[in-house]
Structure 1
């Protein structure tokens, strides 16, 4: 009668006739309360099984099968074994929480890694040492931040490194490491720095564009950004995207022009002639190649680093109502630029949609049809329209 105790030591008879058993059954290292009533032919009482609310929920989808086995039960030990097997198939296995708890050995290894890397290269670290951010310099003297995410299984599982790279995937891990054992964090950081150094030409290209061109967007570019929006003048601009960050000067960038159709046409034609006549030179920088047909992309003078407003200082690119290029909308995704242009080529003023909407809404001569406002340009008095901001 007690042979099952070797396998289920936490379950014991609850009556002197051996009809009721009560205790705990362990499933995937978690204990569940259980009470079993065997069928009693003398009294006509059917077999039944009770348990915690969680256990009852797990058994509900298999109640008919388990009840059938319990009705035919002749050995409580065999039934408990069948029940345990069934529950282990129902309940997904959980991780061994004790094994995943941070250990002193784990912290000792991390401290040893930091001593090897150098604390002067550590930028930030959270309280649990699961996220470490390191700073490093590439061959061009540029500072990069590399985030190391330390998994609970460290050092059995290597950290994951995240850094800004002009690629589709900016996360690198040690999966591709040729060593059988997991590489050290210092080795992984050296490999990441080696990867960054492969993009020196790209970083040089984008830095020079940011310093010498009339860049409008992005306001705070990331090292992974392969595009820039550059002012041409007269509320015309272009957006360039480098197709190959590894070889930025190998071929002309993808160019898209923005602005009034008549005003932007000369820029489009100049660029098209330049490309079709194969004047692109791989021995020159991207900026020098662009400036040949489009000289207005260059600044007249290099602004001081502290004067962020110099990126948008040009009156011919600012909103003609608020005299700013960007209108803060709370976050970068909701910032407005003066993209509503007066159709009069002699005027060609640009406005933020919300600025023009408020201007027209306050003008008594403005008319409205559905969600469109019809009014006059604040400068040339020509007809201008704007969708209502709901």
Structure 2
């Protein structure tokens, strides 16, 4: 506890602030054995020299999240500390005695905070009907659980392990595909493992799910001769041709093999996406992109305010016509490009020498796009900033959780303002002169007053 001004320390970014955010004036620190960390309490002063709560911080930051959970459970903790600090003395005339009073009072404030934490914990314990569902103690796992997990990791190979937590319940594995790309699989083992499959998290285009999990028992009396679960007695099948480690009929090693097979099935997709990333000007997502993202927004034309295309590739047959392709830019230019692309897909587009062009799967997606639209800007020849279109109404690029782009555009080439269809609908709907015909609402552009329309279904729910 620091009571003298010369001993006051300012921890700044090395501490995690829980309550309030005022710049601290005096600050006191104590070690809390209850929370197993140091607490730092600071006060600030108003124009009337009244002390008020500046901040309550935790040192070190490694325990901050746990302490935050416990302290924020106290009802009205900030108000209670603020009242206690203001109660130091109500008749301060200058700041100096106020600081002295706060420093003398700080130790009592820390004790009050710890008492409040203990009382809060007791009330929570009394409110529980049973201790099983809300027991905060970590689950106790049998010794053969760890033996089994280690034996499975031996089969997988320790060089394929990225990290393991101290209890062997969270494991991150990696595999390298044929093109040198690294992929990770996160496994969370519950207390019922291996009777229950682990929870898997990965960065694949389609969520990875375990297909052939066999519930197993860690107890010898409940195990069959082929499962070989308990105490590391694992049964092997024929050696895999792909690697020297044995193939198993169950367990984490089988999950890892299924993950490798899933990664292999996406090689064509990732090759196409890498080709697009390397040879075009990718506007979204920010590169390098996550492997689960199979959508790209690329620059198509630098003219007319910038025209771009958003395409999504098929996971299994990425060289087919994109399952989703839409253009972003001036309406007049977008209509021409869309018509041009439809002719190319249908095989009715003719080049200057009279030959007919059509989308073919023996070409890459990028090659098909270049044949259709001509030279496409690359990351070396185009500035991505000129294609970053913002909505002329809400002034943002992406809208909402779905990240909608400004797809609607004014047809006046001198204006060519872009709008989110939702924003434009709400704008037009507010105009007295707007009219609705079938599924479209008609009105005027907010900037140039030229006629503009949008589908009625774009209204926000």
Q: Which structure 2 residues correspond to residues 167-316 of structure 1 after superposition, within 5 A?
A: 167=206, 169-175=207-213, 181=227, 183-219=250-286, 221-233=289-301, 234=304, 235-243=306-314, 245-249=315-319, 251-259=320-328, 260-277=330-347, 279-295=358-374, 297-299=376-378, 301=380, 312-313=384-385, 315-316=386-387
Give me the whole-angstrom Cα distance separating, in 1, the residues matched to 2:360 and 2:199. Answer: 40
Q: Which structure 2 residues correspond to residues 139-178 of structure 1 after superposition, within 5 A?
A: 139-167=178-206, 169-175=207-213
Cα separation, partners in 2 of 1:384 and 1:262, compared to 1, 3 Å: closer
CA apart distance, 1:258: 3.3
The equivalent of 1:28 in structure 2 is: none
The equivalent of 2:142 in structure 1 is: 103
TM-score w.r.t. length of structure 2: 0.47
What is the CA deviation profile of residues 188-245 of structure 1, one whole-angstrom value per residue up to 9, with x for unaligned ones?
Answer: 31332133113211110112222323333344643233333333334543332334x2
What is the CA deviation profile of residues 109-159 of structure 1, one whole-angstrom value per residue up to 9, with x for unaligned ones?
Answer: 223433454444333444543222222211111111112232323334453
Cα separation, partners in 2 of 1:355 and 1:262, compared to 1, 3 Å: closer
Give me the whole-angstrom Cα distance separating, in 2, the residues matched to 1:139 and 1:237. Answer: 32
Contact preservation (8 Å) 2:300, 2:376: yes
Contact preservation (8 Å) 2:170, 2:189: yes
CA apart distance, 1:293: 0.6
Q: Secondary structure at the match of 1:333?
A: coil
* Gap runs ≥5 in structure 2: 1-131, 216-224, 228-248, 348-356, 435-440
Q: How many residues align?
A: 270
CA apart distance, 1:180: 5.9
Aligned CA RMSD, in angstroms, stands at 4.6
Give me the whole-angstrom Cα distance separating, in 2, the residues matched to 1:194 and 1:204. Answer: 16
CA apart distance, 1:257: 2.6
Give me the whole-angstrom Cα distance separating, in 2, the residues matched to 1:130 and 1:302. Answer: 49
TM-score w.r.t. length of structure 1: 0.54
Cα separation, partners in 2 of 1:164 and 1:172, compared to 1, 3 Å: farther
CA apart distance, 1:384: 8.1
Give me the whole-angstrom Cα distance separating, in 2, the residues matched to 1:285 and 1:368. Answer: 47
Q: Which structure 2 residues correspond to residues 312-351 of structure 1 after superposition, within 5 A?
A: 312-313=384-385, 315-319=386-390, 326=397, 333=401, 337-339=405-407, 341-350=409-418
Larger-Rg structure: 1
Contact preservation (8 Å) 1:163, 1:171: no
